Amino acid sequence: MAWFLEYIARDGSRVTRAVRTLPFTVGRDAANHLVDDAPGLSRRHARIDVDAAGRLCITDLNSTNGTFVNRERLQGTRLLKENDIIHFGGTEYRLASEQDAGEPTSPGDSERTMIAPIGRVLSAQLVPERRQFLELLREGRGLAVAAQPIVDAHSREIFAYEMLARCTHPELNKSPTQLFEMAAKLGYEADLSEAFRNLGLKAMAPMLNGRRVFINAHPKETFEEGFMDSLRALRERPDPPRLVVEVHETAVMEIERMRELAVQLKNIGVDFAYDDFGAGQARLNEISEVPADFVKFDMGLLHGIHEAGERKQRVVHDLVRTVREMGSVTLAEGIELEAEAVVCREMGFQLIQGYLTGKPVLMA
């Protein structure tokens, strides 16, 4: 596949530069494959190459102002995929493939890239389906949520529901993951997350009957004051929902910020849960520093647990016991078989979630 970097030139036209030779370097120095004298670029700023598996990747070359992929500053090397938005300092590009880039053109002296802050300015012109996404976000067309029950491991009575994001827009990818990736390119991750919460709580209100509702927090918003403000507004409603915020495992690693977040949530009557425990970087050391109200064990750890060897079952059993001793309620995710549920119950899991006890039901 042939790759291109597309950008908006100073005269407003769209320009593409072919990535013909790998490694492909970007910077102010004339020896680079893509040369730009824009402020913020280092002499040798970044390199695009392929890894051992033949996948396209990008590396920042210790530039002064950094390289960003979908608004995340690059640390080391990162894999690239089509339609990624890349900032070299303040210059902005979209990674395009041969199919959608058109005939590549080379810039003249007056067509160097426009300087773009790492915000929402030029990406709106570079991201495909941007109109449909903004329509979804501003008008609610295509936003939907599903509710999945969380049940007591022994009685199977419904304890809570988890709110799950869904997309029904006819012109957008139905995958919530893909939708949030588009939001990241446009800088609207927190806006999209809040829109799902507001829609979901309205749609689910009649079925809650005082039960808790687990909501996901996007990593970009977890520690932002705007996120806390939105939770306060929800709690100040005449009939406030009982919220449980699911914290992404990347946030768990920031112990001091998690301490502050835990206090803020407690002050407004909101519980929190650590999500996907056992799958990511978060370890017992981190979660013991700031114990959560709930700890959700990752489905990958529990899939087929009834057929797992004695050693793995003993490890999981010990983890469950330790987490409970911290004062957290343990929840087994992704349970699909009765045999899995039986073993989880014997291990001490207090709650179960999965297709065995209830599939997600589309609400709106």
For domain 130-362, the CATH superfamily is EAL domain (3.20.20.450)
What is the band of 113 on the pLDDT scale with cuts at 50, 70, 90?
very low
Of the ranges 61-65, 88-92, 189-193, which one carries the lowest mean pLDDT score? 88-92
Q: What is the pLDDT of residue 100?
A: 52
Q: What is the pLDDT of residue 207?
A: 93
Of the ranges 224-228, 250-254, 303-307, which one carries the lowest mean pLDDT score? 250-254
Q: Is the pLDDT of residue 214 over 80?
A: yes
β-strand 85-88 against 91-97: which pairing, if any? antiparallel
pLDDT > 90 in the chain, percent: 59
- If you compute the radius of gyration of the chain from its CA atoms, what whole number of angstroms results? 23
For residues 147 and 181, the model is more confident at 147
Q: What is the pLDDT of residue 121?
A: 47
Evaluate the CA torsion angle 262, 268, 274, 280 in order and state its sign.
negative
What is the band of 330 on the pLDDT scale with cuts at 50, 70, 90?
very high
In contact, 286 and 254? CB cutoff 8 Å = no
Q: Is the pLDDT of residue 308 over 90?
A: yes
CATH 2.60.200.20, domain 3-125, yes or no: yes
What is the band of 178 on the pLDDT scale with cuts at 50, 70, 90?
confident
Of the ranges 114-118, 182-186, 240-244, 334-338, which one carries the lowest mean pLDDT score? 114-118
In contact, 190 and 218? CB cutoff 8 Å = yes
Q: Is the pLDDT of residue 281 over 80?
A: no
Q: What is the pLDDT of residue 184?
A: 80
Q: What is the pLDDT of residue 196?
A: 93
- Bridge partners of residue 178, in order along the sequence: none
Of the ranges 14-28, 51-65, 263-277, 305-319, which one carries the lowest mean pLDDT score? 14-28
For every residue of 232-284, DSSP letters joined together read HHHHTSSS--EEEEEEPHHHHT-HHHHHHHHHHHHHTT-EEEEEEETTSS--H
Q: What is the pLDDT of residue 116?
A: 47
Mean pLDDT, residues 220-248: 92
pLDDT > 70 in the chain, percent: 89
| Residue found by looking up tokens 């139905």 in the block | 174
The angle that helices 310-325 and 338-347 make with each other, rounded to 10 degrees, is 50
Distance CA 297, CA 349 (A): 9
In contact, 33 and 44? CB cutoff 8 Å = no
Mean pLDDT, residues 135-140: 86
User: Which amino acid type is present at position 36?
Assistant: D
Q: Is the pLDDT of residue 23 over 90?
A: yes
What is the band of 117 on the pLDDT scale with cuts at 50, 70, 90?
very low
Domain chopping of the chain, boundaries: 3-125, 130-362
What is the band of 101 on the pLDDT scale with cuts at 50, 70, 90?
very low
β-strand 158-167 against 212-216: which pairing, if any? parallel
Q: What is the pLDDT of residue 115?
A: 43
Average pLDDT, the chain: 87
Q: Is the pLDDT of residue 147 over 60?
A: yes
Q: Where are the alpha helices (DSSP H) in 168-217?
A: 176-186, 189-208
Find all residues with CB under 8 Å of 87, minimum gap 6, and list them: 66, 67, 68, 71, 93, 116, 118
Q: Is the pLDDT of residue 103 over 60?
A: no
What is the band of 188 on the pLDDT scale with cuts at 50, 70, 90?
confident
Report how far apart the first and last C-alpha atoms of the chain are (Å, whole number). Answer: 39
Distance CA 151, CA 188 (A): 33
Distance CA 44, CA 29 (A): 6
Mean pLDDT, residues 263-279: 93
